Structure 1
Amino acid sequence: MSAGADQRSITVRRADQPGDLGWMVMAHGELYDQQFNWNRDFEALVAKIVADYATEQSSAAEAWIAEVDGERAGCVMLVADDRPGAAKLRVLLVTPSARGLGMGTRLVGEALAFARATGYQHVTLWTTDNLRSARRIYQHFGFTLTDEKPYQGFGHNLVGQTWSLDLYDSPAA
């Protein structure tokens, strides 16, 4: 935690308020443009992920928003995978002003607790190798790198990565 973290109000809640899903798309589009110069193909991907979640509303999927002092500052989703007993962790984001407060860990922890409570046995995620802070969070929870290959997308040459976690072989952290 950073020095001022104990004076800030940090909450993680379900993404069930008007504007939450739109904020997820907007925040990803703006932040990834600012930090990585990713083009709008990335924002379109996030918009599709969020739209799929919104239209499929299922008890097997959930999304969360993290707030700092009442302002949205992070998000994550957990949705069903095509394989039985498997879920996908999606759209993890923490805004620069909220980094260092443990918010990414709290968000992933909420998603994995939900996955366990829902009966999922396995969680996967796809990311790119340049997202080092997110990778540290995934490793903290026991995710392991299961696939890595070059990926041309979002206006750049990237390395796409798939990370996996067997929920009952890992600590709840």
Structure 2
Amino acid sequence: MENIKIRTFDQGDRDWLIRQHQEHYALEEGFDDSFGVLVTQIIDEFLHDHDPACERGWIAQKGNQRLGSIFCVKLTAQRAKLRLFLLVPEARGHGLGQRMLQTCMRFARDQGYEGMQLWTHESHRAAGALYARSGWELTDSRPAVSFGKANVEQTWEILL
């Protein structure tokens, strides 16, 4: 995929990003509406309270078409959290996910974070493989019922 830019997330991306998460995770994972509620809360909190000096969101875009998102938010003074990493199906398998992950990790490193963590589900195997290839380690895995179905929740971490 050529001519893709990764730009800063802004208020105009809010509804698209919420809708993409709701539709994608309902279709591919069977998540119920509670997932959309969580995503809306995360995005609205980011829009209202984030510190642009050490937190940022990005949108991958080709022309007028948005293709994905990734966010870096402060967890502690030394640790950042990766959130809202999503690629639309047609953008997968072309290296864009790696590029977005590198953008997010570079930003975290440049802001002085010593490490990062993220929370995901075991069913996101392609994402897990990307994290592992990029030096992330799976530090916790546990069964849970979330978003209306049985899942295996995972925590991944990396030192920067």
TM-score by length of 1: 0.88
1:25 aligns with 2:18: yes
Alpha-carbon distance, 1:22 to partner: 2.1
Structure 1 residue runs without a partner (length 5+): 168-173
Tell me what 2:3 maps to. Answer: 9
Tell me what 1:75 maps to. Answer: 69
1:61 aligned to 51, 55, 69, which one? Answer: 55
Alpha-carbon distance, 1:51 to partner: 1.3
1:91 aligned to 70, 74, 84, which one? Answer: 84
1:48 aligns with 2:35: no
2:27 aligned to 34, 46, 56, which one? Answer: 34
Q: Secondary structure at the match of 1:92?
A: strand
Alpha-carbon distance, 1:57 to partner: 2.6
Tell me what 1:171 maps to. Answer: none
Is the Cα–Cα contact under 8 Å of residues 68 and 98 in structure 1 kept in the other structure? Answer: no
Whichever residue aligns with residue 38 of structure 1, its letter is F
Q: Can you list the C-alpha shifts for 1:85-131, whole angstroms capped at 9, x where unaligned? A: 11100010000011112111111111101001100001000000000
Distance 1:57 1:36 in 2: 29
Distance 1:154 1:75 in 2: 21
Q: Can you list the C-alpha shifts for 1:54-75, whole angstroms capped at 9, x where unaligned? A: 1113021100000134300100
Distance 2:4 2:15 in 1: 21
1:160 aligns with 2:153: yes
Structure 2 residue runs without a partner (length 5+): none
Distance 1:159 1:96 in 2: 22
Alpha-carbon distance, 1:34 to partner: 1.3
Distance 2:19 2:49 in 1: 21
Distance 2:15 2:73 in 1: 17
